[in-house]
Amino acid sequence: MWLSGGVDSAVAAWLLKEKWYEVVAGFMKNYVDEDNPSCSTYQDAKEAIKVAEFLWLEIMSFDLRDEYEEKIVKYIYEWYKNGITPNPDILCNSLIKFDVFLDKAIELWFDWIAMWHYARIDKKDDWNHRLLRGIDYNKDQSYFLSWLNQYQLSKALFPIWWMKKSEVRNLAKKIWLPNADRKDSQWLCFIWKVPMKEFLKKRLPIKKWDIVLVDWTKVGEHEWAYFFTIWQSRGLDINKKAYVVNIDVEKNLVIVSYDKNEPELSSKEISVKNWHWIWKEYELPLKCKSKIRYRQEPQNAELRIENWKLKFICKEKQWWIAPGQSVVAYVWDECVWGGIIV
């Protein structure tokens, strides 16, 4: 059982014990910012140890910093440098938690790894597993699991899939978990409280240039275009609220609009690449629901091939379509497909 230091993983571990699983806690040390006092990896480790001691669990530490650097951190820098906004949380699930961590657990003769994700796995047989949305739609994390394959799903347990967040909190207090009142993390996977811009500045150079409106009127300056993403409104440091419409990393331009309804900020068509089917390949065109970000309510769409390209054709215009972000497809509650926005 991966103990993150948060209340969700603590409750998940308790539930597994209640079902008579032989549980061993694991803590992953993936990223440490020695220069930033707000980096909470060490505090998370202390919380995880307290929970393990409270639940009478053996706890093991896994130092995966080298793997995280190679598979996640380098990816973040490379994509931002090219003007693409990555989704490291999805990669972290498919390449760290359910890959490196899973492999190490299997090597130690464990049967499964348990996680705190709000999602369901429908095991049809030993080789076929469907990924379903969690009961709590507001916390559903199937979006972040959309790159998992069948082997990874076959080795995963999600003990709190049937609970709402409020129920998890209430249970944590009822059983007197030591971290029952700890706030949820809202930060990048394992990088926590390090602001993205400050994180990027560690390795990407600064070069000031222009912020312009869509009519090319200069309204400000920035430190480099790759620090921004589509639809961003914070951090522009200009006199009026504006939204990033486009970025040009070659010319180092940030193009903005004062109008959040700027036509360039929305589209009904979303082109995708690097996709995969989670369980089985459905026949195209496919009527489905789509999500282009975690908190979005699934949208009516059709997945189809047009001009030899795979596209989502959405019923309604979609906003904040950022290249590099992930898009997923649902058929009813099943997450069937995941890909990257071009």
pTM exceeds 0.85 for this model: yes
Q: Is the pLDDT of residue 215 over 90?
A: yes
Phi, psi of 315 (to 5 degrees): -65, -40
Please state, in angstroms and rounded to a whole number, the distance separating the CA atoms of residues 241 and 257.
9
Q: Which of 231, 239, 289 is nearest to 262 (CA)?
A: 231
**Residue 215, Cβ neighbours under 10 Å: how many?**
7
**Residue 270, Cβ neighbours under 10 Å: how many?**
21
Where in the chain are the domains?
Answer: 7-174, 205-257, 266-341
Task: Point out the catalytic residue in the list 39, 92, 314, 335.
Answer: 92
**Residue 134, Cβ neighbours under 10 Å: how many?**
22
305-323 average pLDDT score: 92
Give the up-direction half-sphere exposure of residue 208: CA atoms within 13 A in the CB hemisphere.
4
What confidence category does residue 223 fall into, taking pLDDT thresholds of 50, 70 and 90? very high
209-220 average pLDDT score: 94
Q: pLDDT tens, 254-291?
A: 999 999 889 888 999 999 999 999 999 999 999 999 99
126-141 average pLDDT score: 94
Determine the Cα angle at 300 with ends 297 and 303, to 5°.
120
What confidence category does residue 196 fall into, taking pLDDT thresholds of 50, 70 and 90? confident
Catalytic residue at 189? Answer: yes
CB neighbour list of residue 165: distance below 8 Å, 6 or more residues apart: 118, 136, 138, 139
Q: Is the pLDDT of residue 77 over 80?
A: yes
Domain 7-174 fold is Rossmann fold (3.40.50)
Structure tokens at 274: 């690097």
Q: Which of 228, 224, 328 is nearest to 286 (CA)?
A: 328
Percent of the residues in the chain that have a pLDDT greater than 90, as a whole number: 75
pLDDT at 301: 97
Q: Is the pLDDT of residue 107 over 80?
A: yes
| CATH 2.30.30 matches 205-257 | yes
What confidence category does residue 192 fall into, taking pLDDT thresholds of 50, 70 and 90? low
Q: pLDDT tens, 138-147?
A: 999 999 999 9
Task: Point out the catalytic residue in the list 39, 189, 314, 335.
Answer: 189
**Which contiguous run of DSSP H or E holds residue 304?**
strand 299-306
pLDDT at 281: 94
| CATH 2.40.37.20 matches 266-341 | no
pLDDT at 177: 97
At what angle are helices 41-54 and 7-18 packed, to 10 degrees?
20
Q: pLDDT tens, 9-62?
A: 999 999 999 999 999 999 999 887 776 666 678 888 899 999 999 999 999 999
pLDDT at 33: 72
pLDDT at 194: 63
Q: Is the pLDDT of residue 5 over 60?
A: yes
Three-class secondary structure assignment of 172-212: HHHCCCCCCCCCCCCCECCCECCCHHHHHHCCCCCCCEEEE
At what angle are helices 165-174 and 7-18 packed, to 10 degrees?
70
Q: Under a CB-based contact definition with an 8 Å cutoff, are residues 338 and 147 in contact?
A: yes
Q: Is the pLDDT of residue 188 over 60?
A: no
